[in-house]
Amino acid sequence: MTELGLPKHDGEGRTVTAEFPLFHLTNVYVPNSGQKLDRLGYRTEEWDTDFLNKMQQLEKGKPVIWLGDLNVAHNEKDTWNEGAKHLVKSAGTTPQERASFDRQLGAGFVDAFRHLHQDAMGHYSYWSQRAGNREPNKGLRLDYFICSKDLMEDDDDRKVVVRDSYIVPDELGSDHCPIVLEIEMKK
């Protein structure tokens, strides 16, 4: 499945969903709100809501993992310069985007990296190339693995469980770096 099934979103090439025997996996590029925030309303009021509805529909059948560039630095641990006055007016760090992401997590989903590394700071997945921010590690964490809560719990009944999530900042080639989710599939 390569779209959400809604004409107002489809055609942007934003999602690819694969169904595996034990879970659904959706790769997503969440729309950027724009340098002038001209797409902020669309992103937070329409896209985020409709995408969450789609993930909740999929979750009715089996656990869900969604991953990719979510274009939000969720909180103060996810940005190098939290408190800078311009952040509230910058795409990815607006109060609206952060609140929208809070709603998605509040609907029963888990940020795997933050769940497993609650106090981690300085772990970013994006750096401005224009500003030369990679080497001094002045970045944002914009890339995530978001999982159904069930995948984070390990007991005898679980057939798949998340074991770790981490960022690979030394991998070059883009203004983003790879992120990793390690899962165990039990027999």
Tell me the C-alpha to C-alpha distance, in Å, between residue 154 and each of 13, 23, 24, 43, 72.
35, 15, 18, 34, 29
Nearest-angstrom CA–CA distance, 50 and 52 = 5
Q: Which positions ≥6 away from 10 have C-beta within 8 Å?
A: 3, 4
Number of residues that make up the chain: 187
Q: Mark whether 24 is an active-site residue.
A: no
> Residue 29 pairs with which residues in a beta bridge?
69
Q: Which of 29, 42, 117, 166 is catalytic?
A: 29
Q: Mark whether 126 is an active-site residue.
A: no
CB-based burial label for 130 (10 Å; 0-12, 13-18, 19+): exposed
Residue 135 tokens, joined: 């080497």
Nearest-angstrom CA–CA distance, 27 and 85 = 32
Q: Which of 9, 24, 74, 176 is catalytic?
A: 176
Nearest-angstrom CA–CA distance, 86 and 68 = 25
Nearest-angstrom CA–CA distance, 165 and 179 = 7
Active centre residues (catalytic): 29, 176
